[in-house]
């Protein structure tokens, strides 16, 4: 008997994921590693036994160097595209993502999410309408709903994409350090590079957390806290080893993260400093803060700072 309802939809979507993966010469295990799931989970997705969420589909599309729309439409890559994707995958598998965490290419968002991002940047989440997003994407409203069921889903997909990229780069950057100070410096460099090269994503992330519903806000907040914890840990280890002398390591770690994430609100291409120069400056600022003990007045209690994922 033919499958019906949600099962049929998941089976069809999963089968298209498998077709796209195989067309690009990527193994099941290789793709699972790129999107952060187990091979068993990805196998269940491809067989239609596990629901394929929009955010997971976006992660798969990014890893395969395609778009969610092309996967769902069953659009095959050209031989040249398939070869290029296979080469990129082979390089990643051999060298790991640490080799390219400083390198930024296209965003890799599908047409609807690209249009939604532009609308959110121009008029804000609440000012954007589904009709305007569809028009900007060159699609009908009904056609757009086939890929993204609501404006809220578009926003959470964009923020999920943001945090997936940022965290993957952060872990790769941390992996290059030989001690806590080097790992801390690499993590700060990564934050500064991300919030200049991906300033559009950073700006929407900073300004639209308040627009998420409660469950989605908690989800993104959790991923932001994970990013903060990476830096907190290296600061704590550097203080224990005597390399950092700040009297308030927890607050100092929050301060340097906030300093970096604020870049997306003011930095613009074409200014006096490019992303690489800004990143090196910010690493120096952060190290200066960590290696300089505070004044005597610093012994006074310091108010607790909010978690980075909390709504502003």
- Whole-number pLDDT of residue 299: 47
22 or 95, greater pLDDT: 22
- Confidence at 306, pLDDT banded by 50, 70, 90: very low
State the chain's mean pLDDT as an integer.
Answer: 83
- Whole-number pLDDT of residue 312: 35
Flag whether pLDDT at 277 surpasses 90. Answer: yes
97 or 124, greater pLDDT: 124
Flag whether pLDDT at 234 surpasses 90. Answer: yes
- Whole-number pLDDT of residue 82: 44
Mean pLDDT over 226-246 rounds to 95
- Whole-number pLDDT of residue 173: 95
- Whole-number pLDDT of residue 97: 43
- Whole-number pLDDT of residue 96: 40
SS3 127: coil
Choose the weakest-confidence range: 54-68, 119-133, 228-242, 295-309.
295-309
- Whole-number pLDDT of residue 8: 43
- Whole-number pLDDT of residue 10: 61
31 or 179, greater pLDDT: 179
- Confidence at 286, pLDDT banded by 50, 70, 90: very high
SS3 92: helix
Share of the chain above pLDDT 70, in %: 81
Choose the weakest-confidence range: 14-23, 179-188, 228-237, 269-278.
14-23
Rounded to an integer, what distance in angstroms lies between the CA atom of residue 82 and that of residue 71?
13
In CATH, the architecture of 153-299 is Orthogonal Bundle (1.10)
Rounded to an integer, what distance in angstroms lies between the CA atom of residue 299 and that of residue 246?
11
Q: Which of 168, 153, 171 is nearest to 198 (CA)?
A: 168
Tens digit of pLDDT for each residue in 131-158? 999 999 999 998 888 888 899 999 999 9
CATH number at 5-95 = 1.10.260.40
CA diameter of the chain: 77
Q: Which of 141, 178, 135, 170 is nearest to 261 (CA)?
A: 170
179 or 298, greater pLDDT: 179
Flag whether pLDDT at 207 surpasses 90. Answer: yes
- Confidence at 122, pLDDT banded by 50, 70, 90: very high
Which sequence spans correspond to the domains of the chain?
Answer: 5-95, 153-299
Tens digit of pLDDT for each residue in 80-116? 444 334 434 443 433 344 458 999 998 889 999 999 9
- Whole-number pLDDT of residue 307: 52
Helices (H) and strands (E) in the chain, counts: 16, 0
At 163, list the tokens. 């945090």
- Whole-number pLDDT of residue 12: 82
Count CB-CB contacts under 10 A for residue 207: 16
- Whole-number pLDDT of residue 294: 59
Would you say how long the chain is, in residues?
A: 312
160 or 21, greater pLDDT: 160
Flag whether pLDDT at 71 surpasses 60. Answer: yes
Flag whether pLDDT at 191 surpasses 90. Answer: yes
- Confidence at 37, pLDDT banded by 50, 70, 90: confident
């Amino acid at each position: 008997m033919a499958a019906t309802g949600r099962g049929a939809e998941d089976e069809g979507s999963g089968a298209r994921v498998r077709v796209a993966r195989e067309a690009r010469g990527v193994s099941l295990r290789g793709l699972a590693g790129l999107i952060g799931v187990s091979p068993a989970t990805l196998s269940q997705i491809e067989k239609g036994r596990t629901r394929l969420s929009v955010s997971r589909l976006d992660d798969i599309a990014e890893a395969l160097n395609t778009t969610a729309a092309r996967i769902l439409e069953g659009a095959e890559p050209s031989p040249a595209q398939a070869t290029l994707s296979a080469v990129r995958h082979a390089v990643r598998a051999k060298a790991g993502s640490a080799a390219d965490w400083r390198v930024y290419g296209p965003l890799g968002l599908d047409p609807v999410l690209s249009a939604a991002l532009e609308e959110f940047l121009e008029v804000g989440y609440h000012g954007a309408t589904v009709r305007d997003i569809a028009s900007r994407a060159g699609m009908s409203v009904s056609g757009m709903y086939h890929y993204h069921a609501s404006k809220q889903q578009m926003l959470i997909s964009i923020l999920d994409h943001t945090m997936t990229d940022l965290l993957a780069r952060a872990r790769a950057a941390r992996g290059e350090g030989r001690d806590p100070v080097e790992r801390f410096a690499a993590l700060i460099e990564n934050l500064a590079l991300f919030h200049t090269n991906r300033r559009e994503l950073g700006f929407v992330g900073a300004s639209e957390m308040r627009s998420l519903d409660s469950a989605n806000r908690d989800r993104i907040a959790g991923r932001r806290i994970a990013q903060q914890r990476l830096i907190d840990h290296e600061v704590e280890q550097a203080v224990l080893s005597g390399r950092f002398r700040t009297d308030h390591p927890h607050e100092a770690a929050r301060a340097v993260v906030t300093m970096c994430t604020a870049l997306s609100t003011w930095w613009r291409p074409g200014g006096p400093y490019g992303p690489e120069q800004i990143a090196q400056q910010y690493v120096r600022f952060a190290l200066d803060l960590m290696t300089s003990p505070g004044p005597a007045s610093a012994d006074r209690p310091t108010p607790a700072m909010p978690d980075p994922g909390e709504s502003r």
